[in-house]
Amino acid sequence: MIEIAIVAGLILLNGVFAMSELAVVSASKPLLRSMSERGQRGASAALALAEQPGRFLSTVQVGITLIGIVAGAFSGATLGGSLAEALYAAGLPETASSALGYGGVVAIITYLQVVIGELVPKQFALRNAEAIACLVASPMATLSRIAAPVVWLLDASTRLIFRILGMSETNEDTVTEEEIKSMVAQAAETGVIERDEKRMIAGVLRLSDRRARSVMTPRTDVELMMFDEDFTVLQAQLNKARHSRVPIASEDSDNIIGVLVMREYFAAQPKDHRALKRLLRTPQVVPDTMGALDVLDTLRQADFPLALVLDEYGHFEGIVTPADILEAIAGVFKSDLDDNEDDEAVRREDGSWLLAGSLTADELADRLGLDLPEKRDYQTLAGFIIDHMQHIPATGEVLEHEGWRFEVVDMDGRRVDKVLAAPLPIAPLL
């Protein structure tokens, strides 16, 4: 019985080493760092081990190797001999009883070591890596100091081989955007975060890749008014304005002389052009290629948070406000849609989508799972359609792309207004 207890103890100790190895290696360093800052016991030691994986893995390997040698030798010498004697006493030939005795013990010990000493502990480690890492870190650090000469030799040998192969010993401690997106998607699938939260997080991540042109309100949707109009006519137009801020141009629609805040206009009730001009606010001016995050920073520091977007030729392309940045993250608000507009993306019962031509390309990719190039000459679904067709489409024209059928169902003049996107049927396997 004592022999069985010793072997069982060695198998369990092997399990502790296996669990410690996987827990420390798979634990999140940022989370361990946060736990350490909160003063959680063992977190600092676990973080130190995780940041020196070579020494830690060498320590674990020393332990597992020694346990394997001791368990194999001890079980063979004691349990194997005892089982062989029992089989011989039961009437088996000496050669057969010896082979079955030692072979049987080795098979059983190997099975128990794989299941109880490896697989089960590693499953435990994967379930709560950070907590287990904190628990085992201090004993492992102590063992590393005790076995320092052997650990140093193994670690140095490993580093030497990596240098010979021209490889770095460890991967950089970085998290890619794709990994973040994958984690967010998994969290949404398991219910840890809401699906709307997932969409907003995706919007925030996309913001760094977007340009001013892709977040602005385009010129065609801007309520632009000409300062040179007869004041009575201009006043009548302003009184019917649908937006809270109205750009005012002079002589040419590209020459914006200021932006009128309608609340201030109605409060002041100017009687002529001169009085009206005193009310105009000076907006920021940004190029259409400026990054969305830089645009946000510009708006944050501006006294008047509205920016005119100009192209490389100085032509007025649209405006950007904090509301446009929020819309890029959270989506379009229903109150911002015109009375005759529907939502930009409506899913139908048959799995198809009725999409607005103004739907951003990023939102299109998210909705339909398309793989769009990062560098592209279009920012909207309408631009996507025109870019692939290479001409202004007519109502009823169809484009097939990445398993989807895009049909232009409505044109607003020369602008793509509505598109019906339906999944293409999957071809049967031959």
Q: Are 17 and 28 in contact (CB under 8 A)?
A: no
pLDDT of residue 341: 46
The residue ranking higher by pLDDT, 60 or 422, is 422
Q: Are 62 and 154 in contact (CB under 8 A)?
A: yes
Query: Model confidence over 283-323: pLDDT tens digits?
Result: 999 999 898 899 999 999 998 999 999 988 889 999 999 98
Mean pLDDT, rounded, for 408-423: 90
**Exposed e or buried b per residue across 335-360, where buried means at least 16 C-beta atoms within 10 angstroms of its C-beta:** eeeeeeeeebbeeeeeebbbbbbbbb
Q: Which helix (H) or strand (E) holds 36?
A: helix 29-37
Domain boundaries, the chain: 2-164, 177-202, 212-331, 338-423
Distances 331 to 187, 204, 233 between C-alpha atoms, Å? 20, 11, 36
Measured CA to CA, the distance from residue 356 to residue 119 in angstroms comes to: 53
Query: Model confidence over 240-254: pLDDT tens digits?
Result: 998 889 999 998 889
Q: Is the pLDDT reported for residue 257 higher than 90?
A: yes
Q: What is the DSSP string of 63-119?
A: HHHHHHHHHHHHIIIIIIHHHHHHHHHTT--HHHHHHHHHHHHHHHHHHHHHIIIII
Backbone angles phi, psi at 422, to 5 degrees: -130, 140
pLDDT of residue 339: 45
The residue ranking higher by pLDDT, 381 or 362, is 381
pLDDT of residue 226: 93
Query: Model confidence over 222-243: pLDDT tens digits?
Result: 999 999 999 999 999 999 998 8
Average pLDDT score, the chain:
81
The domain 338-423 having CATH identifier 3.40.470.10: the answer here is: no
Of 115-129, 266-280, 283-297, 306-320, the least confident: 115-129
Q: What is the DSSP string of 142-184?
A: HHHHHTHHHHHHHHHHHHHHHHHTT--SS--S---HHHHHHHH
> What residues pair up with 316 in beta bridges, in sequence order?
310
The residue ranking higher by pLDDT, 15 or 178, is 15
Q: Is the pLDDT reported for residue 352 higher than 80?
A: yes
Mean pLDDT, rounded, for 356-381: 82
pLDDT band at 358 (very low <50, low <70, confident <90, very high): confident
pLDDT band at 340 (very low <50, low <70, confident <90, very high): very low
The domain 212-331 having CATH identifier 3.40.50.2020: the answer here is: no
Burial (0-12, 13-18, 19+ Cβ within 10 Å), 272: exposed
Query: Model confidence over 389-413: pLDDT tens digits?
Result: 999 999 999 999 888 999 999 998 8
Q: Which helix (H) or strand (E) holds 309?
A: strand 307-310
Measured CA to CA, the distance from residue 352 to residue 350 in angstroms comes to: 6
The residue ranking higher by pLDDT, 388 or 157, is 388
Of 412, 365, 406, give the one whose Cα is nearest residue 385: 406
